[in-house]
Amino acid sequence: MLGLCATSAFLAIGVLALILGYVLFNGISYINFDFFTQLPKPAGESGGGVSNAIAGSLLTVGIAAAIGIPFGIGAGVFVAEMAGPRLAAVVRFTADVLTGVPSIVVGIVVYSWLVLKMGHFSALAAAVALAIIMLPIMARSSEEMLKLVPQSQREAALALGVTRWRTILSVVIPAARRGLITGGLLAVARAAGETAPLLFTALGNQFWSLSIAGKPIDALPLRIYQYGTGPYNSQHEQAWAAAFVLVTVVFCISLASRLLLTRRG
Partner 1 sequence: MQTARSESVSVAASLLRSWRRIRIGDALFRLVVATFGLSVLVLAALMVWQLFFESHESISTFGWGFLTGTKWDPVSRVFGAAPAIYGTLVSSLIAIFLAVPVSLGAAIYLSEMAPPWLRHPASFLVESLAAIPSVVFGLWGIYVLIPWIRHPVETSLGGHLSFLPLFSGPPFGVGMLAAGVILAIMILPIITAIARDSLLAVPSSQREAMLALGATKWEMISRAVLQYCRSGLVGAVLLGLGRALGETMAVTMVIGKTYDINTSLFAPASTAASQIASEFSEASFRLYTSALMELGLILLGITLLVNVAARLLVWRIARSPGEIVE
- Of residues 27-86, those binding partner 1 (CB under 8 A): 70-75, 77-79, 81-83
Judged by CB under 8 A, the number of residues near partner 1 is 85
Least Å distance between CB 184 and partner 1?
A: 15
| Interface pick for partner 1 out of 106, 114, 129, 130 (rule CB under 8 A) | 106
Residue 163 sits in the site that holds partner 1 (CB under 8 A)? yes
Residue placing its CB nearer to partner 1 in the complex, 100 or 119: 100
Selected binder of partner 1 within 55, 108, 212, 256 (CB under 8 A): 108
Contacts of partner 1 in 222-261 (CB under 8 A): 224-225, 228-229, 236, 239-240, 243, 246-247, 250-251, 254, 258
Query: In this chain, which stretch among 29-37, 41-49, 54-62, 186-194 interacts with partner 1, using CB under 8 A?
Result: 186-194
CA distance 35 to 37: 6
Q: Is the Cβ of residue 3 or residue 42 nearer to partner 1 in the bound state?
A: 3
Closest approach of partner 1 to the CB of residue 265, in Å: 12
Cβ distance to partner 1 smaller for residue 11 or 148: 11
- Per-residue x/- marks for partner 1, 192-221, CB under 8 A? xxxxx--xx--x-----------------x
The one-letter code for the residue type at 210 is: L
Written in H, E and C, the secondary structure of the chain is CHHHHHHHHHHHHHHHHHHHHHHHHHHHHHCCHHHHHCCECCCCCCCECCHHHHHHHHHHHHHHHHHHHHHHHHHHHHHHHHCCHHHHHHHHHHHHHHCCCCHHHHHHHHHHHHHHHHCCCCHHHHHHHHHHHHHHHHHHHHHHHHHCCCHHHHHHHHHCCCCHHHHHHHHHHHHCHHHHHHHHHHHHHHHHHCCHHHCCCCECCCCCCCCCCCCCECCHHHHHHHHHCCCCHHHHHHHHHHHHHHHHHHHHHHHHHHHHHHCCC
> At its nearest, how many Å lie between partner 1 and the CB of residue 161?
9
